[in-house]
Amino acid sequence: MQTIGLVGGMSWESSAAYYELLNRGVEARMGGLHSARSVMASVEFAQVTALQEAEDWDGVAQILADAARSVERAGAEFLMLCTTTFHRVAEQVEAAIDIPVLHLADVVAEAAKAQGVEVIALIGTRFAMSRTFFTERIARHGLEVVVPGVEHHDEINRIIYEELVHGKVVDDSRKYVVDLIDELWDNGAGGVILGCSELELLVKQADSNLPVFPCTTLHVGAALDRALA
C-alpha cells in the first residue's frame, strides 16, 4: 500500500471526510483491520481564505507548498489537495515537490466521461464558479462545462461558508441546491459536479435525477486505486 499525502484544513470538515472515506475504503477493499497509510498537513483556513480574498495567490501557494513538502518528507508517495477552490495553485504546489499530485479536476472529468456525460455543470464556491482554473482543466478532457448563473453564486457561497463548513445541514438549503440542479438539467447539463467537499454533506444522488459527481468521494476512490494498485 502506498502512503497517501493530504494537504487539508480547507475546511476541516472536508479534511475529516477525506480521512474517514480513505480509511473506510481501505477497510472495504482489504477487510480485517486494514486502514489507509496517510500523512496529513492541515493549514489554517482563515489564513488561506484571507489571502484568497486579497488575491494573494503567491501567498496561498507558499503555504500549501510548505505543507506539501512536509507531507513528502513524512513519506507520502503522492499528494491530494483536500479542496476544490485551492486547486487554483495546484501546479505551483506540484512544482515544489518531487511526488505527483492527484489532481481533482482530472479525476472528476474521467468519471464523467465514463458515464457518457458530454456537458457537465459545476456547483461550488463563488470563486470556483466565477474563475476558469478548474473548469478549463476539466474541459481539456473534451467535456463542455457550465456553471449556474451569477445570480446564484452568492447564495451557494453563503450555504457553503455560513452553514456547511460548520457542519450545519439545512433542509431549505438542500432544496435550493436541488432546484438549481434541476434548472441546470433543463439547460442541457448531463451531470453535475458537487465541486466543494462540503456540498456532499447536503446533496446525495438520491436527491437528484441528474447524475451527481461528488468530488471528495471520487477523489478518494482514485487515490485508493492508486495506493492499492
Strand partners, 101: 79
Q: Which of 84, 85, 135, 196 is catalytic?
A: 196
Q: Please choose, from the candidates 54, 46, 176, the residue with its C-alpha nearest in 3D space to the C-alpha of residue 127.
A: 54
φ and ψ at 190, to 5 degrees? -100, -5
Task: State the DSSP string of 106-150.
Answer: HHHHHHHHHTT-SEEEEE--HHHHHSSHHHHHHHTTT-EEE---G
Which residue has 468521494 as its cell numbers?
217
Spot the catalytic one: 49, 82, 83, 216: 83
DSSP 49-76: HHHHHTT-HHHHHHHHHHHHHHHHHTT-
Distance, CA of 119 to CA of 113 (rounded, Å): 10
Residue 83 annotated to the active site: yes
Q: How far is residue 150's CA from residue 39's CA, in Å, rounded to a whole number?
A: 38
Q: Which residues are catalytic?
A: 83, 196
